[in-house]
Structure 1
Amino acid sequence: MPRARSTARWVLPALVLLVWLGSAGPLSALGAQLTDLQENDIAAFLPDSAESTRVQELQGGFQPVESIPAVLLWEDTDGLDEAGLTAIGERLRAATEVAEAAGALAAPPTPLIPAEDGEAVQAFLPLEPDLSNDLLPVVEDLRAAIELDGTDSFVTGPAGIFADFSAVFEGIDGLLLLAAFGVVLIILLVVYRSPLLPLLVIGTAGLALTAANALAYLLADAGVITVNGQSQGIAAILVVGAATDYGLLLVARFREELRREESKYAAMRTALRRSWEPIVASGATVVLGVLCLLLSDLGSNRGLGPISAVSVVLAVLAALSFLPAALLLLGRAAFWPFRPNYGSEPRRGGGWQAVARLVGRRPRRVLGASLAALIAAAVFAPTYEAEGIAISDVIQGESNGVDGQEALARHFEAGTASPTIIVTPEETWPEVAEVAAATDGVASVVPYVGPQPVPFAPPVVVDGLVRLDATLDVPPDSTEANEAVQELRTALDDADPEAIVGGETAANLDARESAARDLGVIIPSVLAVILVVLGLLLRSLVAPVLLVATVVLSVGATVGVAALLFESVFGFPGSDPTILLIAFVFLVALGIDYNIFLMTRAREESARHGTRDGVLRALAVTGGVITSAGLVLAATFGALAVLPVLFLAQVAFLVGFGVLLDTFVVRSLVVPAAVAIIGDRVWWPSRLAKGPAGARPERELERV
Structure 2
Amino acid sequence: MTAKTQGRTRRRAIPWVMLGLWVAILALAMPFAGKTGDVQQDRAVDYLPASADSTRVAKIQEQLPGGESTELVLVYHRDGGLTAQDKATAQGQIDEIAGQHKLVGTPEAVPAKGGDTLFYPVASNEPGSDEKLRDAFVNEVREVAEGSGGLSVDVGGPGALATDASEVYNALDGPLLYTTVAVVAILLIIIYRSPLLWLVPLIVAGIADMLSLAVTYGLHQTFDITVSGQSTGIMTVLVFGAGTDYALLLIARYREELRRQERPLDAMATALRGCGPAILASSGTVAAGMLCLLAADLNSSSGMGPTAAVGVLCALVTMTTLLPALLVLLGRRVFWPLIPAFGSAPKQRRSVFGAMGASVQRRPLAVLVSSAVVLGALALGAFNLSGNVKQEDSFTKTPEAVRAMTTLSDAYPERSSQPITILAPNGEADRVLGAARDTKGVSAAEQGRSGDTWTEISVIAEAPPQSAAETATIEKLRDKLDTSLVGGPSAQQLDLQDTSSRDTMVVVPIVLLSVLLILIVLLRSLVAPLLLTAAVVAVWGASLGIGGLVFDSVFGFEGSDSGLPLISFVFLVALGVDYGIFLMHRMREEVLGGQDTPTAALTALRTTGGVIASAGLVLAATFGVLMNMPLVQLVEMGFVVSVGVLLDTFLVRTYLVTSASMVLGSKVWWPGPLSKLPARTVVPERTERPAATV
Tell me the TM-score normalised to structure 1 length. 0.90
> Which stretch has the larger CA shift, 401-410 or 307-316?
401-410
Residue identity in the other structure for 2:211: A
> Which stretch has the larger CA shift, 550-559 or 262-271?
262-271
2:650 corresponds in structure 1 to 664
Residue identity in the other structure for 1:668: T
2:90 corresponds in structure 1 to 88
1:422 corresponds in structure 2 to 422
1:111 corresponds in structure 2 to 108
Residue identity in the other structure for 1:32: G
2:546 corresponds in structure 1 to 561
Contact between 1:98 and 1:145, CA under 8 Å: does it hold in 2? no
**Cα–Cα, structure 1 residues 691 and 176, in superposed 2: closer, same or farther, change >3 Å?**
same
Supply the distance in 1 between the matched residues of 2:433 and 2:487 (Cα, whole angstroms).
Answer: 18
Shift of 1:428: 4.0
**Cα–Cα, structure 1 residues 71 and 496, in superposed 2: closer, same or farther, change >3 Å?**
closer
Supply the distance in 2 between the matched residues of 1:108 and 1:16 (Cα, whole angstroms).
Answer: 64
The one of 618, 622, 628 aligned to 1:642: 628
Contact between 1:70 and 1:155, CA under 8 Å: does it hold in 2? yes
Supply the distance in 2 between the matched residues of 1:623 and 1:97 (Cα, whole angstroms).
Answer: 69
> Which stretch has the larger CA shift, 213-222 or 689-698?
689-698
2:592 corresponds in structure 1 to 607
1:132 corresponds in structure 2 to 131
Contact between 1:264 and 1:332, CA under 8 Å: does it hold in 2? yes
Contact between 2:461 and 2:473, CA under 8 Å: does it hold in 1? no
Shift of 1:257: 1.5
Shift of 1:395: 1.2
Supply the distance in 2 between the matched residues of 1:17 and 1:572 (Cα, whole angstroms).
Answer: 48
Supply the distance in 1 between the matched residues of 2:63 and 2:687 (Cα, whole angstroms).
Answer: 76
Supply the distance in 2 between the matched residues of 1:38 and 1:60 (Cα, whole angstroms).
Answer: 19
Contact between 2:51 and 2:297, CA under 8 Å: does it hold in 1? no
Supply the distance in 2 between the matched residues of 1:545 and 1:404 (Cα, whole angstroms).
Answer: 52
Contact between 2:292 and 2:507, CA under 8 Å: does it hold in 1? yes
1:193 corresponds in structure 2 to 193
Shift of 1:64: 5.0
1:165 corresponds in structure 2 to 165
The one of 455, 458, 464 aligned to 1:469: 458
Contact between 1:607 and 1:693, CA under 8 Å: does it hold in 2? no
Contact between 1:36 and 1:133, CA under 8 Å: does it hold in 2? no
The one of 617, 633, 636 aligned to 2:619: 633
> Which stretch has the larger CA shift, 128-137 or 361-370?
128-137
Shift of 1:474: 4.8
Within 5 Å, give how 1:54-453 maps onto structure 2: 54-56=56-58, 63-77=65-79, 79-96=81-98, 98-99=100-101, 107-108=104-105, 110-127=107-124, 128=127, 130-150=129-149, 151-350=151-350, 351-385=352-386, 387-412=387-412, 418-423=418-423, 425-426=428-429, 428-429=431-432, 432-436=435-439, 438-439=440-441, 442=442, 444-448=443-447, 450=448
**Cα–Cα, structure 1 residues 703 and 5, in superposed 2: closer, same or farther, change >3 Å?**
closer
**Cα–Cα, structure 1 residues 468 and 683, in superposed 2: closer, same or farther, change >3 Å?**
same
Shift of 1:595: 0.7
The one of 36, 39, 62 aligned to 1:37: 39
Supply the distance in 2 between the matched residues of 1:335 and 1:95 (Cα, whole angstroms).
Answer: 64
Partner secondary structure for residue 126 of structure 1: strand
1:697 corresponds in structure 2 to 683
Partner secondary structure for residue 35 of structure 1: helix
**Cα–Cα, structure 1 residues 136 and 10, in superposed 2: closer, same or farther, change >3 Å?**
farther
Count of residue correspondences: 680
Contact between 1:519 and 1:577, CA under 8 Å: does it hold in 2? no
Supply the distance in 1 between the matched residues of 2:186 and 2:507 (Cα, whole angstroms).
Answer: 36
2:54 corresponds in structure 1 to 52
Supply the distance in 1 between the matched residues of 2:394 and 2:321 (Cα, whole angstroms).
Answer: 40
1:524 corresponds in structure 2 to 509
Supply the distance in 2 between the matched residues of 1:178 and 1:61 (Cα, whole angstroms).
Answer: 40
Contact between 2:463 and 2:470, CA under 8 Å: does it hold in 1? no
**Cα–Cα, structure 1 residues 61 and 31, in superposed 2: closer, same or farther, change >3 Å?**
closer
**Cα–Cα, structure 1 residues 656 and 77, in superposed 2: closer, same or farther, change >3 Å?**
same
Supply the distance in 1 between the matched residues of 2:143 and 2:664 (Cα, whole angstroms).
Answer: 69
Shift of 1:370: 1.5
Partner secondary structure for residue 531 of structure 1: helix
Supply the distance in 2 between the matched residues of 1:380 and 1:159 (Cα, whole angstroms).
Answer: 38
Shift of 1:398: 4.1
> Which stretch has the larger CA shift, 165-174 or 189-198?
165-174
Supply the distance in 2 between the matched residues of 1:58 and 1:322 (Cα, whole angstroms).
Answer: 48
**Cα–Cα, structure 1 residues 11 and 60, in superposed 2: closer, same or farther, change >3 Å?**
closer
Q: Spell out, residue by residue over 1:373-409, the C-alpha distance to the aligned partner (whole angstroms, 9 max, x if none).
A: 1121123333333x32111111112411111111222
Contact between 1:88 and 1:148, CA under 8 Å: does it hold in 2? no
2:583 corresponds in structure 1 to 598
Shift of 1:330: 1.9
Contact between 1:492 and 1:499, CA under 8 Å: does it hold in 2? no
2:476 corresponds in structure 1 to 491
Instruction: Indicate the RMSD between aligned Cα atoms, in angstroms.
Output: 2.7
Shift of 1:475: 4.7
Supply the distance in 1 between the matched residues of 2:463 and 2:18 (Cα, whole angstroms).
Answer: 60
Shift of 1:500: 4.2
> Which stretch has the larger CA shift, 421-430 or 241-250?
421-430
Contact between 1:204 and 1:244, CA under 8 Å: does it hold in 2? no
Residue identity in the other structure for 1:528: L
Q: Spell out, residue by residue over 1:435-462, the C-alpha distance to the aligned partner (whole angstroms, 9 max, x if none).
A: 42x32xx4x12231x46xxxxxxxx798
Supply the distance in 1 between the matched residues of 2:644 and 2:601 (Cα, whole angstroms).
Answer: 23
Unaligned 5+ segments in structure 2 are none
Q: Spell out, residue by residue over 1:536-565, the C-alpha distance to the aligned partner (whole angstroms, 9 max, x if none).
A: 111111110110011111111111111111
Contact between 2:209 and 2:240, CA under 8 Å: does it hold in 1? yes
Within 5 Å, give how 1:566-577 maps onto structure 2: 566-577=551-562
> Which stretch has the larger CA shift, 258-267 or 653-662?
258-267
Partner secondary structure for residue 320 of structure 1: helix
Supply the distance in 2 between the matched residues of 1:686 and 1:115 (Cα, whole angstroms).
Answer: 75
Tell me the TM-score normalised to structure 2 length. 0.91
Contact between 2:515 and 2:574, CA under 8 Å: does it hold in 1? yes
User: Matched residues, percent identical?
Assistant: 38
Supply the distance in 2 between the matched residues of 1:58 and 1:190 (Cα, whole angstroms).
Answer: 55
Residue identity in the other structure for 1:279: I
2:652 is the counterpart of 1:674? no
The one of 564, 568, 576 aligned to 1:579: 564
**Cα–Cα, structure 1 residues 419 and 327, in superposed 2: closer, same or farther, change >3 Å?**
same
Supply the distance in 1 between the matched residues of 2:140 and 2:663 (Cα, whole angstroms).
Answer: 67
**Cα–Cα, structure 1 residues 80 and 166, in superposed 2: closer, same or farther, change >3 Å?**
same
Residue identity in the other structure for 1:69: E
Contact between 1:352 and 1:623, CA under 8 Å: does it hold in 2? yes
1:457 corresponds in structure 2 to none
Residue identity in the other structure for 1:636: T
2:674 corresponds in structure 1 to 688
Q: Spell out, residue by residue over 1:487-511, the C-alpha distance to the aligned partner (whole angstroms, 9 max, x if none).
A: 1244346655445422121111111
**Cα–Cα, structure 1 residues 562 and 468, in superposed 2: closer, same or farther, change >3 Å?**
same
Shift of 1:178: 1.3
Residue identity in the other structure for 2:307: I
Contact between 2:596 and 2:680, CA under 8 Å: does it hold in 1? no
Q: Spell out, residue by residue over 1:647-679, the C-alpha distance to the aligned partner (whole angstroms, 9 max, x if none).
A: 100001000000000000011111111112211
Supply the distance in 2 between the matched residues of 1:60 and 1:197 (Cα, whole angstroms).
Answer: 54
Shift of 1:693: 10
Supply the distance in 2 between the matched residues of 1:585 and 1:369 (Cα, whole angstroms).
Answer: 26
Shift of 1:531: 0.2
Q: Spell out, residue by residue over 1:4-26, the C-alpha distance to the aligned partner (whole angstroms, 9 max, x if none).
A: 44443343212322433454466
Shift of 1:518: 0.5
Partner secondary structure for residue 172 of structure 2: helix
Supply the distance in 1 between the matched residues of 2:288 and 2:145 (Cα, whole angstroms).
Answer: 50
Supply the distance in 1 between the matched residues of 2:279 and 2:45 (Cα, whole angstroms).
Answer: 38
**Cα–Cα, structure 1 residues 113 and 485, in superposed 2: closer, same or farther, change >3 Å?**
closer
2:488 is the counterpart of 1:503? yes
1:542 corresponds in structure 2 to 527
Q: Spell out, residue by residue over 1:581-627, the C-alpha distance to the aligned partner (whole angstroms, 9 max, x if none).
A: 11110000000011111111111111012222222111111101100
Residue identity in the other structure for 1:200: V
Partner secondary structure for residue 216 of structure 1: helix
